[in-house]
Amino acid sequence: MKFEIIKEDKETNARVCWLYTQHSVIETPTFMPVATLGTVKTMSQQELRDLGVSIVCGNAYHLYLRPGSDIIKKAGGLHKFMGWEHSILTDSGGFQIFSLAELRNVTDEGVEFSSHIDGSKHIFTPEKVIEIENDLGSDIVMVLDECQPYPVTYEYARRSTDLTIEWAKRCKKVFTLRPSSLDYQALFGIVQGSTYRDLRKYCTKKLLDLNFEGYAVGGLAVGEPKTLTTEMGGFTLELLPKDRPKYLMGIGLVEDIIEFVSMGGDMFDCVLPTRNGRTGMVFTSEGKLVIKNAPSADDYSPLDPGCECEVCKNYNRAYLRHLFNVGEYLGPRLATHHNLYFFMNVMREMRKSILEDRFSEWKKEFLEKYLANSEG
Amino acid sequence: MKFEIIKEDKETNARVCWLYTQHSVIETPTFMPVATLGTVKTMSQQELRDLGVSIVCGNAYHLYLRPGSDIIKKAGGLHKFMGWEHSILTDSGGFQIFSLAELRNVTDEGVEFSSHIDGSKHIFTPEKVIEIENDLGSDIVMVLDECQPYPVTYEYARRSTDLTIEWAKRCKKVFTLRPSSLDYQALFGIVQGSTYRDLRKYCTKKLLDLNFEGYAVGGLAVGEPKTLTTEMGGFTLELLPKDRPKYLMGIGLVEDIIEFVSMGGDMFDCVLPTRNGRTGMVFTSEGKLVIKNAPSADDYSPLDPGCECEVCKNYNRAYLRHLFNVGEYLGPRLATHHNLYFFMNVMREMRKSILEDRFSEWKKEFLEKYLANSEG
């Protein structure tokens, strides 16, 4: 992996970088659609390529359970299995396992859990997770971490952060021993520390000592007030080295992405455009639109009059509303397509504004229009 | 509408014709994917165009209930509503209404029924159905008929056939009074008569007197033994004039389509490729394949090694099986896409064989391979 800073904004910490993997060049700031089970829900890989998607996020936990990492390894890795030539980042699935709550048991060794599918028992250790991600053959491998809920006591946060650091160390160690055919893989560390500044600082320092190829800020947008999300994210971003990509995990509201870009964030992922698309909530340049609502019934205009996506060029609101009302597959599909275009387009415009030294103006102008009619 | 015979087979009644509507040139024999609610389930209109689909079948009954023919009329017709520039045939929905069994009451006037959605009461008369199909603005309009179940007594069949003839007359009458902006619409009659030769003959004669622009053979594949389907279909086809398109309603097994083409059939529709696709049953040149079955788990070959569709070029069986196993949208979508390609391709190859004077050889060769491994 190679990471190159192309342009830095003069007023903020926003920047445009190029991240080279074996499978694509990723222009950052970038949005990575979520492909938990090896598919960005409702979309074909061809459509993702056409939308300019250069990297998607898979999930080791989910793919390990179904279809099984052996099946994917045998295919020659996740790229070949799912027919996707561009880059893939895989999360360890720590977040998913810790969401299981009652179904898991954390020890120093690792985390024992029952499958959310069939209740079968499994244990994820840092070593096991790296082995799975090696099998998947993703371009960017995330370490196993403990994503702390909010709120937690300082005591809990400290212990958990230590565990995350210890696991990062073990991940790094076993990752360096991977077969040479997987040389192209890059390992990213994840900064935890809940909402405690000193723990964030402490965790960052320890991870920097391990020298990862990129760093993620984890444990944000887990229920804390937005001011704390911004504060902790911004604080952590400043501690991270300039010459490495910085990934804000799970940050997906467009307004938050823009804010974190101004603080130096490079990579973002979220289920928002896809999940909301499936329920008929679409993002437009003038805010959000719930397509099922009555005003769309005989509204023959496109979802977003200013949008140039295939959905807005070919279909109208009344048709979309009808598709959702009768439960047709094409509804979620078209809404997801439009939403992803919207996200990819915002990122493209944002990068352009940075390259053209007008990021702050662009940000102001975009947000004014976008938030004016936003339902929140 | 214009109908031109391009080539007639020397050994059989197979033929290649061109059917010109205002929206497309339809090369027959043609397969028309079913778009009951204004969408071929899981597919985008762009994909249908890319597959070479030149006509789809909508359903007046379903579209009248949801979104309502007023909504579609206001959009400027079904083409504009759903974003489809090529041709549309609309069935009256008689078949659907008669499937409601307990929910309907047939009189000479028309058929009274309760909506399958909300139980609301409606009445479909021949005049009402034509009005709806005028609102939809389809290229080919089907009359209201009574699709008889199987088996029925001669007495029932005779009465019902008379009703169908009477309704055809009323449909024709009101259709001729449509606004001039709908001049492009063509009206097709539907031959009923159950499995009684004399009734089929009688019905055909009466419909021919009314001079429709095309004729459909209805009431087949409703549960009768296949020998009767073939016999009645073949018998009726021979009674129909050469210079009009002949449409076999609801005939969808590839082997049946080929048989009816050899007897002079031009147009076919069926939910088979789409419905089976959604359950993971795919058609291949070597027979059918149930993708969810275990052998596909680590089979990385395409659905059909001989197929050149986008699905076979880009995805493998193991991935498809995984998508179905985890209930991902993309599974039904890709299987449907492949199945429709398969059907369109069979029709294309069949037309080519007719044009090249080798239909019988093609038929023999195709069916030998196709039926050898077929699960039936």
- Residues in chain A within 8 Å Cβ distance of B298: 71, 74-75
Give the nearest chain A residue to B36 (CA atoms). Answer: A328
Strand locations in B196-235 (E): 214-217
Of A37, A42, A322, nearest to B66 by CB-CB distance is A322
The two three-digit tokens of residue A371, written as one number = 């938030």
Match 């997801």 to its residue by tokens: A336
For B309-364, give the secondary structure using H, E and C.
CHHHHHCCHHHHHHHHHCCCCHHHHHHHHHHHHHHHHHHHHHHHHHHCCCHHHHHH
Tell whether B80 is within 8 A of chain A (Cβ): yes
Answer CATH for B2-270 from 3.30.70.860, 3.20.20.105, 3.40.640.10, 1.10.287.110? 3.20.20.105
- Residues in chain B within 8 Å Cβ distance of A75: 298, 300, 316, 318-319
Given a contact cutoff of 8 angstroms between Cβ atoms, the answer to whether A258 and A238 are in contact is no
Residue A351 has pLDDT above 50, yes or no: yes
Instruction: Please give the pLDDT value at position B29.
Output: 98
Of B37, B43, B82, nearest to A326 by CB-CB distance is B37
Which residues, in sequence order, are bridge partners of residue B191?
Answer: B217
Of A42, A71, A314, nearest to B298 by CB-CB distance is A71
Instruction: Please give the pLDDT value at position B374.
Output: 59
Name which of A39, A117, A321, A337 to mutate to probe chain B: the one with the most chain B Cβ atoms within 10 A of its Cβ.
Answer: A39
Give the nearest chain B residue to A316 (CA atoms). Answer: B81
Distance of CA B90 to the CA centre of its chain: 10
- Closest CA–CA distance from residue B58 to any residue of chain A (Å): 14
Which residues, in sequence order, are bridge partners of residue A90?
Answer: A58, A141
Taking only the tens place, the pLDDT of each residue in A194-252 is: 999 999 999 999 999 999 999 999 999 999 999 999 999 999 999 999 999 999 999 99
Give the nearest chain B residue to A84 (CA atoms). Answer: B314
- Give the amino acid at A72: I
Contact criterion met (CB < 8 Å) for B329 and A46: no
Contact criterion met (CB < 8 Å) for B83 and A297: no
The bridge status of strand A55-59 relative to strand A87-91 is parallel
Of B66, B297, B315, nearest to A71 by CB-CB distance is B297
What average pLDDT does the segment B189-208 reach? 98
Taking only the tens place, the pLDDT of each residue in B137-188 is: 999 999 999 999 999 999 999 999 999 999 999 999 999 999 999 999 999 9
**What residues have CB less than 8 Å from A176, skipping those under 6 apart?**
none
Taking only the tens place, the pLDDT of each residue in A118-147 is: 999 999 999 999 999 999 999 999 999 999
DSSP 8-state symbol, B34: B
Query: What average pLDDT is seen over chain B?
Result: 96
Contact criterion met (CB < 8 Å) for B321 and A67: yes
Instruction: Please give the pLDDT value at position B15.
Output: 98
Instruction: Please give the pLDDT value at position B376.
Output: 43
Which of B213, B227, B98 shows the shortest CA–CA distance to B156? Answer: B98
Spot the catalytic one: A135, A266, A269, A304.
Answer: A269
- Residues in chain B within 8 Å Cβ distance of A298: 71, 74-75
Report the distance separating Cα B366 and Cα B353, nearest Å.
Answer: 11
Ramachandran quadrant class, B7 (left: phi over 0; alpha: psi -120 to 50; beta: rest):
beta
| Chain B (317-336) residues lying within 8 Å, Cβ to Cβ, of chain A | 318-319, 321-323, 325-326, 328-330, 332-334
- Residues in chain B within 8 Å Cβ distance of A330: 39, 41-44
- Residues in chain B within 8 Å Cβ distance of A43: 330
Tell whether B83 is within 8 A of chain A (Cβ): yes
Given a contact cutoff of 8 angstroms between Cβ atoms, the answer to whether B316 and B300 are in contact is yes
Instruction: Please give the pLDDT value at position A101.
Output: 66
Residues of B that are catalytic? 91, 269
Q: Is the pTM of this model over 0.95?
A: yes
- Range scoring the smallest mean pLDDT among A20-24, A268-272, B285-289, B311-315: B285-289
Give the nearest chain A residue to B62 (CA atoms). Answer: A326
| Chain B (258-317) residues lying within 8 Å, Cβ to Cβ, of chain A | 297-298, 300, 310, 314-316
Residue B96 — very low, low, confident or very high, per pLDDT cuts 50/70/90? confident
The bridge status of strand A267-270 relative to strand A55-59 is unpaired
- Residues in chain A within 8 Å Cβ distance of B75: 298, 300, 316, 318-319
Instruction: Please give the pLDDT value at position A95.
Output: 86
The bridge status of strand A267-270 relative to strand A246-248 is parallel
- Residues in chain A within 8 Å Cβ distance of B74: 298, 300
Give the nearest chain B residue to A81 (CA atoms). Answer: B319
- Closest CA–CA distance from residue A297 to any residue of chain B (Å): 8
Contact criterion met (CB < 8 Å) for A325 and B45: no
Residue A374 — very low, low, confident or very high, per pLDDT cuts 50/70/90? low
Give the nearest chain B residue to A71 (CA atoms). Answer: B298
Name which of A326, A334, A338, A341 to mutate to probe chain B: the one with the most chain B Cβ atoms within 10 A of its Cβ.
Answer: A326
- Residues in chain B within 8 Å Cβ distance of A66: 322, 325-326
Q: Is A58 helix (H, G, I), strand (E, B) or coil?
A: strand
- Closest CA–CA distance from residue B298 to any residue of chain A (Å): 6
Is there a catalytic annotation at residue A266? no
Residue A376 has pLDDT above 50, yes or no: no
Give percent of chain B above pLDDT 90. 93
Contact criterion met (CB < 8 Å) for B297 and A333: no
Of B38, B310, B332, nearest to A46 by CB-CB distance is B310
Taking only the tens place, the pLDDT of each residue in A16-74 is: 999 999 999 999 999 999 999 999 999 999 999 999 999 999 999 999 999 999 999 99
Residue B279 has pLDDT above 60, yes or no: yes
Contact criterion met (CB < 8 Å) for A330 and B75: no
Taking only the tens place, the pLDDT of each residue in A309-343 is: 999 999 999 999 999 999 999 999 999 999 999 99
Q: Is A348 helix (H, G, I), strand (E, B) or coil?
A: helix
Of A80, A297, A329, nearest to B333 by CB-CB distance is A329
Report the distance separating Cα B145 and Cα B189, nearest Å.
Answer: 9
Residue B94 — very low, low, confident or very high, per pLDDT cuts 50/70/90? confident
Of A41, A67, A328, nearest to B322 by CB-CB distance is A67
Given a contact cutoff of 8 angstroms between Cβ atoms, the answer to whether B67 and A322 are in contact is yes
CB pairs under 8 A between A and B: 112
What average pLDDT does the segment B256-265 reach? 98
Contact criterion met (CB < 8 Å) for A67 and B318: yes
Give kind and range of the element (H or E) at residue A231. Answer: helix A226-239
Report the distance separating Cα B152 and Cα B170, nearest Å.
Answer: 25
Report the distance separating Cα A375 and Cα A290, nearest Å.
Answer: 10
Spot the catalytic one: A91, A135, A139, A266.
Answer: A91
Q: Where are the domains of chain B?
A: 2-270, 277-370
Report the distance separating Cα A67 and Cα B77, nearest Å.
Answer: 45
Taking only the tens place, the pLDDT of each residue in A275-311 is: 999 999 999 998 999 999 999 999 999 999 999 999 9
Of A74, A297, A328, nearest to B71 by CB-CB distance is A297
Distance of CA A365 to the CA centre of its chain: 25
The two three-digit tokens of residue A244, written as one number = 């490495």
- Closest CA–CA distance from residue A320 to any residue of chain B (Å): 9
What average pLDDT does the segment B108-131 reach? 93
Give the nearest chain A residue to B300 (CA atoms). Answer: A75
